[in-house]
Amino acid sequence: MTTGKVWLVGAGPGDIGLFTRKGMEVLQNAQVVVYDSLVGQGVLSMIPDHAVTIDVGKRAGNHTMPQEEINRVLLREAQKGLRVVRLKGGDPFLFGRGGEELVLLKEHGIPYEVVPGVTSPLAVPAYNGIPVTHRDFCSSLHIITGHKKAGRAYDIDFEALVRTKGTLVFLMGVTALGDICNCLLNAGMNPDMPAAILQQGTTAGQKRIVATVSTLKEEVDRQGIETPAIIVVGKVCSLAEDFAWYEELPLAGYKVLVTRPRDLISSMAKKLRVQGAEVLELPAIRTEAIEDNEMLQAAMKRLLEYQWLVFTSPTGVKVFFNKMREYGVDIRTLGNIKIAAIGEGTRKALLERGLLVDLMPEVYDGENLAKDLAVKCEKGTRILIPRAEVGNQELVAILEETGAVVEDVPTYRTRFEKQDIIDEAKEFERGKIDCAVFTSASTVRGFVEATQGLDYSKVRAACIGKQTRAEAEKYGMKTWMAQKATMDSLVQLVIDMKNEGERQ
């Protein structure tokens, strides 16, 4: 039997943009993924569908699976000859018990690699405007576990820490915040030393409380804090208000669900992340080309007979030209045929194949595409529309009223997608997702299929057009519609929704 292999992969502090390229490459090739509760949802959403997932649910003070059992799980799966990824929040070797997990693998001759991750003691202060070192304030950084067993004293030399005059970062210490501050004060630290607690850094849940060592516990009790959070002590904390940058981004603190098909989702997600949003990529649908498509194959043999070729989506473009190659049809066969596209995304997909569009409506929907094209048609005009199996029939009806001969050829099917790692319905019920972005009526239906039982009045829906909006309203969602059916307009809509919510 082929020997398997284990990769210990650091997932970073939460923001998927801080997940390393090597980590992503390893994850995409995994057959088994063993993951922690501290792994950011953005990274979890990137686990490939073909991988078996095992949730070991480790958090400070709350372990779903004992460490010894996790070690055995890694060994067992690797002994099956599988590629196993142990996905851990932060860095696997910084209080991640990665060293312990390697011992059993080493004893049994299982090969392994370690992929470091961006660690929260550096990233989270940076996202809060706190440089952990600054030559005007300190010359050292110390990272300490704040976790201790109940009823026991810390086995930490606090006096030595105070004498370093460096920045101190305590991980897993929220429940022991009072003890940590008292120990530092008792060890001689100045009561006015700046200190901060940083909640869920690099994500939409980011929150910062800055005070002093003597007042931080009181401020946390007054303002409240959620885990995971880190404690930073040192003069550099006084720079937070001046250097803070994350909250200046238009979508800072806003968590957005994107539901487009996986092959189209990245551009939308990127645009939202640039504006500061935490983006959860959970496709509600997937598209698949119709195999053995005799209807399309017959149409391609008659390409020279058509005056217009009409595309209603980027997916339609991709499938059509893939099928041309599959059927051995030369692109030059298109001859003098004119091309219409429903909108900017479809036009771009055609341009990538070296084709300019002859017609694109100002309003990007099927009705306006049909009306604009109808003006250019006369009786007997032959039109080929290769598109989704279930499409808007208004497009065909308007064109046929002109006497045009329309061939509406299904080229791909839309299937609903569902994943089991992240409970979308629960996230909306808890108010943890601020809005969902829908780019078609089918993404709305796919989302509903994946979240049955959800009270949809809790969903704020950013919709690309009126058909999408009408579908969302059918389920009782609170809806907003983009001014234009483009990705940029949709991003601006999400920004407007956030601003509107802040004003209320």
> Which helix (H) or strand (E) element contains residue 302?
none
Q: SS3 of 231, please?
A: strand
Q: Which of 15, 58, 91, 318 is catalytic?
A: 58
> By the 8 A CB rule, do 318 and 349 touch?
yes
> Which helix (H) or strand (E) element contains residue 188?
none
- Catalytic status, residue 358: no
DSSP secondary structure code for residue 13 in this structure: S
Give the phi and the psi of residue 410 in degrees, each rounded to 5.
-65, 130
Q: Are β-strands 194-199 and 167-171 bridged in parallel, bridged antiparallel, or unpaired? A: unpaired
> By the 8 A CB rule, do 414 and 438 touch?
no
* Residues 156-165 as b or e (16 or more Cβ within 10 Å = b): bebeebbeee
* CA angle centred on 416, ends 429 and 474, rounded to 5°: 55
> By the 8 A CB rule, do 5 and 110 touch?
yes
- In angstroms, the CA 67 to CA 408 distance is 58
Classify residue 151 as left (phi > 0), alpha (psi -120 to 50) or beta: left
- Catalytic status, residue 58: yes
> Which helix (H) or strand (E) element contains residue 437?
strand 435-438
DSSP secondary structure code for residue 290 in this structure: P
Q: Which of 36, 91, 365, 434 is catalytic?
A: 36
* CA angle centred on 384, ends 344 and 386, rounded to 5°: 60
- In angstroms, the CA 478 to CA 251 distance is 19
Give the phi and the psi of residue 330 in degrees, each rounded to 5.
-70, 140
Handedness of CA 274, 277, 283, 284 (dihedral sign): negative
Handedness of CA 19, 20, 25, 27 (dihedral sign): negative
Q: SS3 of 471, please?
A: helix
Amino acid at 490: L
Helical axes 393-400 vs 366-374, angle rounded to 10°? 10
Q: Give catalytic residues, as residue numbers.
A: 36, 58
